[in-house]
Amino acid sequence: MKYQTDSNSSKINLTDKFYSDKKTLIVSSLIFCINFILMYSVSLYWLNPEFHRYLTGKPL
């Protein structure tokens, strides 16, 4: 294993740091995608009468 020392002279496992950064990237990407899908769905719901009618069965 590769180690790096930080300012406190303690050892940091670089492999763990890489996976931690990777997890952060995955979670951030997932939150962004879910947010984008929700915003797109709400926009379609209010701006597209056919989509609104499909979901609710009532005209806009």
Give the pLDDT score at 7.
Answer: 57
d(CA 44, CA 48): 5
Give the pLDDT score at 40.
Answer: 96
Give the pLDDT score at 5.
Answer: 57
Give the pLDDT score at 59.
Answer: 83
Q: Which residue has the tokens 């303690």?
A: 10
Which positions ≥6 away from 49 have C-beta within 8 Å?
Answer: 59, 60
Following CA atoms 54, 55, 56, 58 in sequence, which dihedral angle do they give, to the nearest 10 degrees? Answer: -20
Of residues 37 and 24, more confidence is placed in 37
Question: Is the pLDDT confidence value at 42 over 60?
Answer: yes
Nearest Cα to Cα of residue 2 among 11, 17, 14, 10: 14
Give the pLDDT score at 29.
Answer: 96
Confidence band of 26 (pLDDT split at 50, 70, 90): very high
